[in-house]
Amino acid sequence: MNGNIASVGDSVISAGVSGNCFSRAMKATADKSLHFFVGLAFLLGLWWLAIYVVTLNPDNSAFSDFAPLAAFQALPDLWEDGTIPHALETTGGRLGAGMFLAIVIGVPIGILMGQIRWFQRLTNVPFQFLRMISPLSWEPIAVVVFSGWDEAIVFLIAIAAIWPIAFATAAGLAKVDPAWFKVARNLGAKPWQMVTRIIVPAIMFDILTGIRLSLGVAWIVVIPAEFLGVTSGFGYAIQDAREGLEYSNLMGMILMIGVVGFVLDSICVMLIRRFSWHRG
C-alpha cells in the first residue's frame, strides 16, 4: 500500500519536474519570439514614421513609394518577373565564389600564422596593412587585372573576406592546448592528420566565427561592387530601379538584401552552434 502511494507520489514529482522544464523552455521560446517581433515591429515603425514625416511636405510626395507598404507590395512582382530570383542567383554565385576563395586561402594562412612563429612575425605588418585597405578601393585595379567584371567582383569579395577568416583562425590556434599536439604525435599522427583531425576540429568555432564576420563584410562589399559594370545582381537591380524612378522596387530590393543577409548570418550562427564543442 505504502509502496503504491510512494510510486504515485514519485510519478507526480517526476511529472512536476519535467513539466517545469517544459514550461520554462516554452517561456524562453516565447520570450525570444516576442523580442524578435517587437524589434522587427519597431524597425518597421521607424521606417514608416520617417517616410510619413518626409511626405508631410507635398513637395516630397514622391517619397511615399519608399514606405514599407509600397516596398512589400512590390515584392511579389519582383519575384514573378524574375528580378529577385536572378539577383539571388548572380549575387549568390559571386558571393559564393569569393567566400570560397577567402576560406581556401584564409584558413591555411591563419593556420600558418598560428603555428609558425616566424611566419606570424613576417606577415603580421603586411597583412594588417592590407586588411586596413577598403576593399572597394581595389576596384579600379581589379577591373584592369581581370578580364571580366564578374571576376573583378569575386576578387573584391575575396580580398575583403580573407582577413577576418585568417586572423580568427590564427587567434583560435593560439588558444589550442599544446598538449593535444603532443598526444596526437605520441599516437602517431602525421602532419596532415594533425591539421585535419586535430587543428581544424579544435578551432572550428573560431574558423566559423571568422567566416561569419567575413560573410558580413562580403555582403556589404558585393552590393556596391555590382553598381558598376555588371547587368545583374542586387546592386545592379537597385541601380536600375533608381534610374527608372521605381522607388518601391528599389526599397523592395533593399528589403531583400536585408533578408538574405539575415538568413546567411543565421546559417552561420547555426553552424557555429553545431560545430562548437565549448561548454559552459
Partner 1 sequence: MAIRGTEIKIQGLTHRYTPRSPVTFNRVDLVSPPGEALAIIGRSGCGKSTLLHILAGILKPTEGKVLLDGTVVGAPSPRWVMMFQAPHLFPWMTVSQNVGVGLSFGRWSKQETEERVKEAIKLVELENWAENNVQDLSGGQQQRVALARSLVMEPELLLLDEPFSALDAFTRASLQKDVRSIAKRKGFNIVFVTHDIDEAVIMGDRAVIMAGSPGNIVHELDIDLPDPRERTDPVVQSLRSRLMSMFQEAAHYKKPESATLT
Find the shortest distance in angstroms from Cβ 210 to partner 1.
18
**What separation in angstroms does the CA of 102 have from each of 26, 106, 233?**
40, 5, 20
Give phi and psi for 238, each to the nearest 5: -65, -45
Closest approach of partner 1 to the CB of residue 116, in Å:
20
Assess contact for 204 and 275: CB atoms under 8 A. Answer: yes
Binding segment toward partner 1, per CB under 8 A, in 14-22, 29-37, 44-52, 189-197: 189-197
Q: Tell me how far apart the alpha carbons of residues 208 and 276 are, in angstroms, rounded to a whole number.
A: 9
**Shortest CB 189 distance to partner 1, Å:** 5
What's the angle, vertex CA 96, arms to CA 216 and CA 135, rounded to 5?
50
Q: Kindly tell me the burial class for residue 211, based on how many C-beta atoms sit within 10 Å of its own C-beta (0-12, 13-18, 19 or more).
A: buried
Shorter beta-carbon distance to partner 1: residue 152 or 199: 199
Q: Which is nearer to partner 1, 84 or 202 (CB)?
A: 202
Quick note: the x/- pattern for partner 1 over 204-243, rule CB under 8 A, is: x---------------------------------------
- By CB under 8 A, tell whether 277 contacts partner 1: yes
Q: Which 16-75 residues touch partner 1, going by CB under 8 A? A: none
Pick 121 or 182: Cβ nearer partner 1: 182
The site map against partner 1 for 149-188 (x = CB under 8 A) is: ----------------------------x-xx-xxxxxxx
Closest distance of CB 120 from partner 1, Å: 23
The Cα–Cα gap between 178 and 175 comes to 9
Contact 85, 232 (CB under 8 A): no
Is position 4 an interface residue for partner 1 (rule: CB under 8 A)? Answer: no
Structure letter (DSSP) for residue 196: I
Site string for partner 1, 190-209 (x = CB under 8 A): x--x---xx--xx-x-----
Cβ distance to partner 1 smaller for residue 98 or 210: 210
Whole-number minimum distance, CB 271 to partner 1, in Å? 14
Q: Running DSSP on this structure, what letter comes out for residue 197?
A: I
Q: Do residues 74 and 247 make contact, with C-beta atoms less than 8 angstroms apart?
A: no
Closest CA relative to residue 256, chosen from 278, 232, 229, 237: 237
Instruction: Name the nearest CA neighbour of 218 among 228, 226, 206.
Output: 226
Q: Rule CB under 8 A: is residue 279 a binding residue for partner 1?
A: yes
Using CB under 8 A as the binding criterion, the count of chain residues that bind partner 1 stands at 20
Phi and psi dihedrals of 276, rounded to 5?
Answer: -80, 130
86 binds partner 1 (CB under 8 A): no
Residues within the interface to partner 1 (CB under 8 A): 177, 179-180, 182-190, 193, 197-198, 201-202, 204, 277, 279
